[in-house]
Structure 1
Amino acid sequence: MVPLASLMCLIQTSFFALNFDQDSPGYLFVILCILTAIPAGFLLLARSEYPEVTFWLACILVALLPFDSLLSSMAMCSLLARRADRRTSIRTCIVGTAVAVWSQLRDALQPADGSLWHLIFAKPYTGGGSGKPIVMLVEEPTIIITAIITALVSAAIAILVGLHIRSRARLRTANAVASAATSHAQSLANDLNNQQLADAIAAEAHDTLAHSLSLLALNASALQAEAARLGDSPEAQALSKKAEDIRKQSAGALDEAHAIIDMLRDPQKAWEQLAPSDETALTRESLDALIADTRNSGMTINTWIDIQQLSALDESIGKVAFRALQESLTNALRHAPGAPVSVELTAAPQSGVHMHVSNPLTDAAADGRAGAGLPGLTARVEAAGGQCRYGVDDRRLFHVDVLLPWRS
């Protein structure tokens, strides 16, 4: 488009130059017009970002200089395609059409030897460089009318093309909005279905799990009462203590079940409770508390800890490290109760954070498979730029090995 607009401006200016002698002041004006015509087409490069400015500058150039109307018509098409304001569109169509008519009519009114329209209707091999006087095949009114009609048709084509481009852009926008609305509606429908499923699960858990735990606590209380009737023998006291432990554990499990049921019924509250920002970071105090709690649950833990500059460790890495140790100890407690656990933990800026937890498998561990939390832990460690490996070796020892980068 840019080379074509410059070419047409140069052609019109070249024919216009034939009306002046080389020594006349008008010829100097033509030279300036030719120098302007060459970069005039590059004005269209700004039509996307500045369509109005481009259109008005193109109209001024075509109206004041002997340029072809193709430059202003292209600028008009671009402006109509990018501006949907009604007043702007009407003003653009009127001015653009008027400039196109004036450009072609100006050329048609020039003397025969300096007019492109006269050359089109001239007899072959006359005028121009043929050395013979130009002979017209039609009358002057025909040339003028043809030039005006051509200008009107070209302006109409530019207007229709611009409006077509605008309508297609509107259609794409409408399709994008409709697609976004459809996606949003589908997302809302999925959220509603998920919430209905969560409500159904919560109701089922309340009717079954909570009821079963309540019966377990009740039966433990009854067992404790029966044990009290057996007297003060060591066996009766041990049985009473076990029954009390079962009652407390079932009561705690019932509270946890109710908390989980509440989370299912209130997803927003659940997200707040499960947010990573609420997690504990790895510090000396949190590490000692976690190991002490694990030992209080009846597990034997052998630790080897070497941590340096732990206070300078990035909090997000510290949360992942603490979560990895917590998940490993919980996994051992759940799947290998009573088995001793070995914990090795090192943290230093040079080597990063390295944690290794191992425990022998017991009959309660079944086939030695890890808990369901370890795959999720692996994904989280890898997201933090670390590595997490776990599995059983030939000695039936289950290992969890985590390596995290040091970020301060």
Structure 2
Amino acid sequence: MTRTEYSWLLPSAMAADPDLYDPEPAGERPVRTNARGRIRRTVRDWVVDLLFFLFAALMAMIVIDQSHQFNGNQAVVRFDEIVGLLSCCAVWLRRRWPVQLALGLALVGIFSPAVAGALVVAVFSLAVHRPFKAVAIAGPIMIAFGVVQPFVRPDPTTSVLASVIAGLVVLLLALGWGMLIRSQRQLYVALRERAHRAETEAELRAEQAQRLAREAIAREMHDVLAHRLTLLSVHAGALEFRPGAPPAEIARAAGVIRDSAHDALQDLRQIIGVLRAPGDGPEDRPQPTLATLDALVEESREAGMAVVLDNRVQDPDRVPAVLGRTVYRIAQEGLTNARKHAPGAEVTVAVTGAPGTGVVVAVDNPAPSGPVGAVPGSGQGLIGLTERATLAGGSLEHGATGDGGFHVRAWLPWAA
């Protein structure tokens, strides 16, 4: 969580100074606020603050005891006692105003060494809860106050130089320790956010893969079942509108309907098997290839269509299976559309190509010779063919011709 996102959780006094305020990283602990929007302390916070308070109180008592022994001025002793007590209580404000607390205690510490313990806690809290910019500004000021303090209130048990060095070492250690803890927390937050981002990206990739798989299955279902069901519709319509047809023709149409229904059922079972978990579905059926294009054309001829196949592919045995299946599906959809929208018209299926130049599939039909009734269709077949050709690295175009016919032309790459 960034500083800006976090600021609405803070009291107005802290949110008004975003350059200095930088909340504790979200990885340290969950943020809890009360009804007024102030950050509530957790049990861990209370324990840590209590330990810091006891440390400040112990240091204050040691300094006050020395003041009793070596200082005969009772007013100075009372001053140290009051200042030491107030500094210990101020430790509880270290999370809310670490910069102000550290600078204030450093200033008061010039006149009273009783705030030494509370000052160490404040310096440590400043380095933990504020960015380096705030530490870089407040640090030199506190160091300057620490250098002045031994001259204003010298320690009777040691020299001024030793007091200055000891004070600087303690301040620098507190600053370094706090900055180290802050960097560790930020590293933890960065690693956690990176892991969360990786999980999110993995979920998105999985969702995208599932969506692409669903689209591929839907495209396959349309390409396969539309062809079979169109045969059923055409022959069922023929039986409906020609009840007096010769028995041989009726038997032939019924046989085509039976075979088409059986093939459609097998194709549907195959697709359902793909949707199931591995091992739950039937054995995979052989996928269509360029070699099965002749069977597709023959099936359409048996259904009463006039189809001319012009297959001039060089070295057809080297055609990859995926490329052959795409050619088959394009021809299948073209024949299905011609059967629905141009019944009785002669359809031409032309396939040409060679390794290195690609394969061109063209399905053309002239305008229908008679009126065409209303045929259900949504145009998803041509959309699916375009997507299929694009996924294969090729292109597909379709549209009406000048004489009222329709053409479908696709180019598919074939590596040399």
Does the alignment reach a TM-score above 0.5?
no
TM-score range, shorter chain: 0.3 to 0.5
Structure with the higher helix share, 1 or 2: 1
Structure 2-normalised TM-score? 0.44
Structure 1-normalised TM-score? 0.45
